[in-house]
Amino acid sequence: MRIIYLHQYFNTPEMPGGSRSYEMARRLVKKGHEVHMITSWRESGKGKNWFETNENGIRVHWIPVTYSNHMGYAQRIKSFFKFAFKSAQKAKKIKADIIFATSTPLTIAFPAIYASKRQKIPMIFEVRDLWPKIPIAIGAIKNPIVKKASYWIEKWAYKNSEAVVALSPGMKEGIINAGYDHHRIATIPNSCDNDFFNNNPDSAFIFRQQREWLKDRPLLLYSGTFGKINGVSYLVELANYLKDIAPEVRILLVGDGVERSKVYEKAKEAEVLEKNLFIENKVSRTEIPAILSAADISSSVVIDLPILAANSANKFFDSLAAGRPVFLNYGGWQAELIKNNNCGIVACNKSLPEVAEIVAEKIQDTQWLKTAGNRARKLAVKHFDRDKLAAQLEQVLSSAFHKKGYKAKSIAPGIY
């Protein structure tokens, strides 16, 4: 098949951020498909025109459209629509058999549907977050007319899709509630790159020895975005309790985002910064395996908002692949996986003093760390191996190409 893959925020492994689209696309190429990735170049210095690169066989079409987590919502919306318009013009010109569009943002539906109609080819829509429910829930979308329009776009995207890919069981339920046929929904979560994240003791040793504050001390890691929904300040509060009951435990926050300065200031005020909590700049994905190898427990946190429990965080699956126990402060399907497989700590519905006691005990228990880590790795291999889930995606795309999108659920039911 010739596949147009629309993703506004595509990353290669050399870039910070998730690489789901890269990993899925390169496997589709390996299977003999021709993949055209249409995406945006978010940094400055590339002018205004389209340019093309070859990334492991993926033909990537880049258009410079500035975007960053530091931008306000009005600026982001402008970026969304600018990319939607430009990518629609590009997508209609690339002869293809199928369109695969992945959100967020929801506006990716515009170029996808436009190109699908122009070329008279099927479209598959991938849902990475429950837009517009999440921005509405956090107050980013307040205008009632914009809310109504956003829900209309969501249903319009589903209506024009031969099949839909949801990244979690919770997202699948949200799509069904919007009126879409459940038989046409495949559940394909973010995945585990098990070879890439295989534990490396040598890298871990080097990482630890380079940091005088760490050395052989227990380490709780957060690596990801410092965004408003991530709620990284939670870990500052946790550090505040840990400094008294387990002063040797270290917390490392790696990343960037609109809330980074706020987290930094909060850590200073709590007098934990550079004592038991440390903040480092974002790194490329290729550097994450060494950091995870050095960690004793890896974390994924969000603000206290029930709808976020449906998320499919990359950091969760990277932790499993690295064989690291996972710390979560939210409920939902990932929390149930941790509980059912005894491979981490679920802190939702617990007070911070109680959570601190649990973390202090578990992170200094070498036997528990080893056992929980092995269980995490087993879960990664059994259910979330990237090759297995990429094969499911290929089957969904092939079924949609043959106008058999109703097979999506049976291909990837999302039962773990």
**CA-to-CA distance for 122 and 11, rounded, in angstroms?**
25
**CA-to-CA distance for 110 and 107, rounded, in angstroms?**
6
| Residue-by-residue DSSP string for 248-265 | T-EEEEE---TTHHHHHH
The 3-state DSSP composition of the chain as helix, strand, coil percent (nearest 5) reads 45, 15, 35
Reported in sequence order, the residue ranges of 173-325 that DSSP labels E, i.e. its strands, are 185-187, 219-223, 250-254, 277-280, 297-300
Looking at CATH, the fold of the domain delimited by 2-191+385-411 is given as Rossmann fold (3.40.50)
- Walk along the chain (416 residues) and give the pLDDT tens digit of each residue: 999 999 999 999 999 888 999 999 999 999 999 999 999 998 877 788 999 999 999 999 999 998 877 777 778 888 999 999 999 999 999 999 999 999 988 999 999 999 999 999 999 999 998 888 888 888 888 889 989 999 999 999 999 999 999 999 999 999 999 999 999 999 999 999 999 999 899 999 999 999 999 999 999 999 999 999 999 999 999 999 999 999 999 999 999 999 999 999 999 999 999 999 999 999 999 999 999 999 999 999 999 999 999 999 999 999 999 999 999 999 999 999 999 999 999 999 999 999 999 999 999 999 999 999 999 999 999 999 999 999 999 999 999 999 999 999 999 999 99
297-300 and 326-328 strand pairing: parallel
The ranges assigned to domains in the chain are 2-191+385-411, 201-383
Give which of 288, 300, 278 is closest to 232, Cα–Cα.
Answer: 300
Q: What is 201-383's CATH number, 3.40.640.10, 3.30.56.10, 3.40.50.150, 3.40.50.2000?
A: 3.40.50.2000
Check if 2-191+385-411 and 201-383 are the same fold: yes
277-280 and 250-254 strand pairing: parallel
